[in-house]
A and B are shown apart, each in its own frame.
Chain A
Amino acid sequence: MFLINCPYCGEREQAEFSCGGEAHIVRPKNPPELTDDQWSEYLFMRKNIKGIQFERWNHSNGCRRWFNVARNTATDEILKIYNMGEKPPNISGDALDTPSGEPEIGSGNISTTYTKK
């Protein structure tokens, strides 16, 4: 259970929060004019990134405030917390070597290569 630094309350356990999924998906201003496909894009389709993902979190068992989090989903490391309405930060974190590869540390997936000393 990782810690999240709530911008309003400070560091708390993840269990106090709920994740609202991918951030920066704006509800369309003109729903009646959209096609079914376009509506479905907004409603259901997600990037579901492996690596650095911008997502919404809510301190649901605390102050109930929403905020944005930049988190590496390959390690669960939180890189930045920023307010609702702010633009996503420019973060160049540890990129994965291959799209579905594993980071050198922080991963729980089977890793078979170890450097020899």
Chain B
Amino acid sequence: MHKKPIKYSVFSLFKNALSYHENWQPVWRSPAPKTEYDAIIIGGGGHGLTTAYYLAKNHGLTKIAVVEKGWIGLGNTGRNTTIIRSNYLWDQSARLYDHALKLWEGMSQELNFNVMFSQRGVMNVAHNLHDVRELKRRWHANRLNDIDCEWLNTKQVKEFCPIINTSPNIRYPVLGATLQRRAGTARHDAVAWGYARGADAMGVDIIQNCEVTGINVQNGNVTGIETTKGRINSNRIGVVAAGHSSVIANMVGIRLPIESRPLQALVSEPVKPILDTVVMSNTIHAYVSQSDKGELVIGAGTDGYTSYTQRGGFNIVEDTIMAVVELFPLFSRMKMLRHWGGIVDICPDASPIISKTHIKGLYFNCGWGTGGFKATPGSGWVFAHTIANDQPHILNAPFNINRFSSGELVDEHGAAAVAH
């Protein structure tokens, strides 16, 4: 174990300013892998790091490794549009995502790392009667599930977000919206770094540049992994590899109901505050918010094919920008500064898999599709429980992989909810 991290505060900042900030400690160490661990997490993204953190914190495991092919937090954790909300339709999803939202609400204090969770509200906009019906269904379900949600009519939408185009004469006029005020955005990188710092402080080994090349199984029990840094043994292995989940699963002959697809996003140049909430439209397909730096953060849809290239078609980006300009004509003269792509692991029902497998000690947490970021703390919380107890937490029991056999899907996709 190493010494306790310096507490971050305005005082420590002042104190360190006097020594020209030369005495800060590494946020996480870079240890060499040990030969054996109580549990190994494959994948150092947000979900993997939170899993390790809660394994140590909630379940008292001490020898935990997170192995990461590249550097932590640079997959989908560092590539998303940072939207956090819990206004899901189905009870199972709503409970899971709201548990995550509650963890978000205390995260900066819990981690002593400012993740800048900003509850600026998320509006889901309706453009036709079908949207209105579906969003109202979700609103009522949210209300009764004790998840804050409001219905705004067109006038209220305009009041809440004055720059949105609510003219009745546009191609797809705004007919109303749901609003979740507790929802919002956070600083995505900070989540990975904050959890890495917290996990590291409890002794978790975060091993970067360590690619998993094989999983060892004996008599139906998992015994360890082969990596580019050698063999590491453990009889509990949690796979949180997002877009690469199938690649890991294929190592042990497991097939998953997942397709890995490109998802693109972009930011504009920074401008002074103009948009103070998150606006999402499923029908014309755009979601947009403004970061603290002033950039408009804009999401596009997925491309419709498997790809690990982290790049999609420019036509998808154009469609998204068209939608943004349709909703916010004043943004026409804004400029795209940076565009990027990620690999999202999509399940047929647009819900995740957080599950045991037929191999004892091997667990999968994947299939988050386009909406994993918001679940980061909740996902780690329940996955840690699943790994520690070899049985799911009540919140992730419905997200068992067996649902694809039984038919008990949690179809957020079919229910026309936005999964972003």
The chain A residues found within 8 Å of chain B, CB to CB, are 1-2, 13-15, 18-19, 21, 36-37, 39-41, 43-50, 53, 55, 73-76, 98-101, 106-110, 112
Query: In the complex, which residue of chain A has the Cβ closest to the Cβ of B250?
Result: A47
**Which 10 pairs, one residue from A and one from B, show the smallest C-beta to C-beta distance?**
A48-B246, A44-B257, A1-B313, A19-B305, A45-B255, A108-B310, A40-B405, A36-B405, A15-B315, A40-B404
A-B contact pairs, 27 of them (CB 8 A): A14-B313, A15-B315, A19-B305, A21-B306, A36-B406, A37-B405, A39-B405, A43-B404, A44-B348, A44-B404, A47-B255, A48-B258, A48-B260, A50-B247, A50-B308, A53-B306, A73-B307, A74-B309, A76-B311, A99-B212, A99-B251, A100-B247, A100-B248, A107-B309, A109-B308, A109-B309, A110-B70
Sample of 19 more A-B contacts, CB < 8 Å, known A14-B305, A45-B255, A100-B69: A1-B315, A15-B315, A19-B305, A37-B405, A39-B405, A43-B404, A44-B404, A45-B256, A45-B257, A49-B246, A73-B260, A73-B308, A73-B309, A75-B309, A98-B213, A100-B212, A108-B310, A109-B70, A110-B74
- Tell me if A108 and B311 are in contact (CB < 8 A): yes
B314 CB-CB contact with A under 8 Å: yes
Bound CA span A105–B300, Å: 26
- Tell me if B405 and A18 are in contact (CB < 8 A): no
**Contact of A48 (CB < 8 Å), options: B74, B251, B306:** B306
Bound CA span A66–B383, Å: 41
Bound CA span A36–B413, Å: 22
**Contact of B308 (CB < 8 Å), options: A2, A15, A74:** A74
Query: In the complex, which residue of chain B has the Cβ closest to the Cβ of A109?
Result: B310
Number of interface residues of B (CB under 8 A): 38
| A100 contacts across to B, CB distance below 8 A | 69, 211-212, 241, 244, 247-248
- Tell me if A98 and B308 are in contact (CB < 8 A): no
| B71 contacts across to A, CB distance below 8 A | 110
| B241 contacts across to A, CB distance below 8 A | 100
Bound CA span A40–B244, Å: 21
B259 CB-CB contact with A under 8 Å: yes
- Tell me if B405 and A55 are in contact (CB < 8 A): no
- Tell me if B304 and A18 are in contact (CB < 8 A): yes
| B255 contacts across to A, CB distance below 8 A | 41, 45-47
Query: In the complex, which residue of chain A has the Cβ closest to the Cβ of B211?
Result: A98
Interface residues of B in 278-322 (CB under 8 A from A): 304-311, 313-315
Contact status of A99 and B250, CB under 8 A, knowing A1-B314, A18-B304, A110-B70: yes
Smallest distance from the beta carbon of B419 to chain A beta carbons, Å? 17
Query: In the complex, which residue of chain A has the Cβ closest to the Cβ of B348?
Result: A44
Bound CA span A44–B406, Å: 12
Interface residues of B in 236-272 (CB under 8 A from A): 241, 244, 246-248, 250-251, 255-260
| A74 contacts across to B, CB distance below 8 A | 308-309
B341 CB-CB contact with A under 8 Å: yes
**Contact of B404 (CB < 8 Å), options: A2, A45, A75, A76:** A45
Contact status of A50 and B404, CB under 8 A, knowing A75-B309, A98-B211: no
Smallest distance from the beta carbon of A111 to chain B beta carbons, Å? 9
Smallest distance from the beta carbon of B207 to chain A beta carbons, Å? 15
- Tell me if A108 and B309 are in contact (CB < 8 A): yes
Smallest distance from the beta carbon of B209 to chain A beta carbons, Å? 8
- Tell me if A19 and B306 are in contact (CB < 8 A): yes
Smallest distance from the beta carbon of A39 to chain B beta carbons, Å? 7
Bound CA span A98–B246, Å: 14
Bound CA span A106–B311, Å: 11
**Contact of B246 (CB < 8 Å), options: A21, A47, A110:** A47
Smallest distance from the beta carbon of A79 to chain B beta carbons, Å? 14
| B348 contacts across to A, CB distance below 8 A | 44
| A73 contacts across to B, CB distance below 8 A | 260, 306-309
B156 CB-CB contact with A under 8 Å: no
Smallest distance from the beta carbon of B71 to chain A beta carbons, Å? 8
- Tell me if B311 and A101 are in contact (CB < 8 A): no
B228 CB-CB contact with A under 8 Å: yes
Query: In the complex, which residue of chain B has the Cβ closest to the Cβ of A99?
Result: B247
| B341 contacts across to A, CB distance below 8 A | 108
Bound CA span A45–B212, Å: 22
**Contact of B313 (CB < 8 Å), options: A15, A47, A107:** A15
- Tell me if A46 and B257 are in contact (CB < 8 A): yes
Query: In the complex, which residue of chain A has the Cβ closest to the Cβ of B42?
Result: A100
**Contact of B259 (CB < 8 Å), options: A40, A46, A99:** A46
